[in-house]
Amino acid sequence: MIQGRYVRKDKGDRKSGERGEKFDFFNGCLYIRESRTCVASDLHMGLEDELRRQGLAFPLNEEKILSERLEMALERFKPSTFVLDGDIFHSFDRADKAVRDKFSSLMSVLEERCDVVLVRGSHDTMLPKLYPKALDRFDAKGFTFAHGHDSIEDHGALIMGHEHPVLEIDMDRLPCFLLGEKMIKGSDLVVLPAFNPLCQGVAINFMNGRDFMSPLLKKLDAGELSPVVEYQGEVLAFPKLRGLRAHIV
């Protein structure tokens, strides 16, 4: 595997905040240290149910996986606020009882431990009925949390999902965060991976700005984005894609 430069070599033996970085990365979650805010995007609750309707015969334990991943992030970071940054649901047009029960269960996990903010994504047409307090965007302490499927104006450092980025290296598909400094109107950018591991992901190795789904990213120089991956319990920050591409087959 290509060696990255370590942002943080963390196997559970270091306490958050030991170093001076803004962020921690864990299990697909971004943690903003200063505001004690944890963010996850693209839970796609109900993806398992949709796959079952398409003929998949064996259980994928979606609720158990999502619940355990959320609980691990809560235990690790003990955030004051947890933001679910869009595409909380998978289906555009339905939220049957099984999905509603999953949603209720996962919300209970979060609300027992911290404040919760839900941001609507492109799939979340049913969310306002189930959670009327859901927002189109959430602004706090210099950051703007938006799913990324719509254009937005006058934002801070932008935290978004929508793209499901993965980095392909040596036959591995590694969910990744994408970081860019002053990428959009002078503001920093973080693109989150899909939190639900059932999501296939989109390889970003050789993507151009026009290849992204989000209108916020289509005019960007994608080569200026830096992938961050979690690999075998460590966090690896790679060089900008422009420099990395020469080493990726």
| pLDDT tens digits along 32-87 | 999 999 999 999 987 776 666 666 555 567 889 999 999 999 999 999 999 999 89
- pLDDT value at residue 48: 74
**What's the token pair of residue 19?**
């170093």
- pLDDT value at residue 21: 78
- pLDDT value at residue 128: 85
> Cα–Cα distances in Å, from 93 out to 51, 59, 146, 245?
15, 23, 21, 39
207: left (phi over 0), alpha (psi -120 to 50) or beta: beta
Residues in the chain: 249
- pLDDT value at residue 14: 42
How many C-beta neighbours within 10 Å does residue 143 have?
22
Query: In 145-164, which positions are buried (b, 16+ CB within 10 angstroms) versus exposed (e)?
Result: bbbbbeebeebebbbbbbbb
When divided into structural domains, the chain yields a total of 1
Whole-angstrom distance, CA of residue 174 vs CA of residue 96: 31
**What's the token pair of residue 130?**
């189930």
Question: How open is the CA angle 45-212-131, to the nearest 5 degrees?
Answer: 30
Which amino acid belongs to residue 39?
A: V
CB within 8 Å of 234: residues ≥ 6 apart: 6, 8, 9, 10, 11
- Collapsing DSSP states into helix, strand and coil, what is residue 247? helix
Which domain does 65 fall in, by range? 5-247
Dihedral over Cα of 112, 116, 122, 128: its sign? positive
- pLDDT value at residue 130: 86
Q: Are 217 and 210 in contact (CB under 8 A)?
A: no
pTM of the model: 0.88
- pLDDT value at residue 13: 41
With a cut of 70, list the residues of the chain below it in pLDDT.
Answer: 1-20, 49-60, 91-95, 249
Query: In terms of DSSP bridges, do strands 138-140 and 115-119 run parallel, antiparallel, or are they unpaired?
Result: unpaired
